Chain A
């Protein structure tokens, strides 16, 4: 029965979206992190999705092939009284763009919902198929 594969496909998508949501959460949590003594502030991370074939032609799941670090420079704020300020009085914050992360979060949550709905529909159909010929 080829429809059982739907659970693998949508399941892989759901777990990939969960990972994306996780990365968004850690980015947002570290949005205001200040650079430590090594002058390295938190760098925003992004997931990269790729397609994984699952057996037959046209059955394609998703996996997270890598997590990349955003190397753009961090936000620098002039605040000489800050304990982490450098010699010129600047504090380096992380390079997380909060708006971008929020958009990413909404997109991930919608995709998650879509895939859950696909799995629910497949489950209903399979249940009905199991009752085939029982006078239902």
Chain B
């Protein structure tokens, strides 16, 4: 009974954690907008969420070009695609590298317009997730107090 009460809260908590991860990632990109050689990074939120909550996402990515092939990590020292250890990679969202929208001499691939837009988008969605959680807490409170 109690775990049914908190199941949907867990889902939103995972989403909130991933949103804050993405927020941090975009903040790093904006911070490094002037650093030579920096490559902007980001991750696919819906893939990361379905991976974190254990739901399959093959039907949810019609634009993603199909499922990505994973590299096998048969030994502890094997690296994943992101440079992190292959066997630990499942716990974190898979980070992708952004390619430059316009080529420039210092090999920096941060597109400030894109990053600002992603940042604003992620902010709004973070607040939305917070509201969902608040709404659920209110619902639970109403159910508990019976008023």
Contact = CB atoms under 8 A, between A and B. Distances in A.
A34 interface: no
Contact of A114 (B30, B137, B138, B141): B30
A48 B34 CA distance: 10
Contacts, number: 98
Contacts of A107: 34
A114 B33 contact: yes
Interface stretch (B21-29, B45-53, B57-65, B68-76): B21-29
A122 B34 contact: no
Interface residues of A, number: 36
Contacts of B133: 132-133
Chain B interface, DSSP helix/strand/loop, else mixed: helix
Given A132-B133, A133-B134, A133-B137, A122 B27 contact: yes
Given A114-B116, A125-B23, A12 B31 contact: yes
Contacts of B141: 135
Given A57-B92, A132-B133, A6 B23 contact: yes
A51 B38 contact: yes
Is chain A's interface secondary structure helix, strand, loop, or mixed overall?
helix
Nearest to A126: B20
A51 B34 contact: no
Interface stretch (A59-67, A68-76, A83-91, A92-100): A59-67
A20 B27 CA distance: 20
A60 B33 CA distance: 11
A62 B34 CA distance: 9
B31 A10 contact: yes
B31 A58 contact: no
A22 interface: no
Interface of A: 1-3, 5-6, 9-10, 12-13, 17, 20, 48-51, 57-62, 107, 111, 114-115, 118, 121-122, 125, 128-129, 132-136
Given A1-B20, A132-B130, A132-B137, 7 more contacts: A2-B17, A10-B27, A13-B30, A58-B41, A62-B34, A114-B33, A118-B31
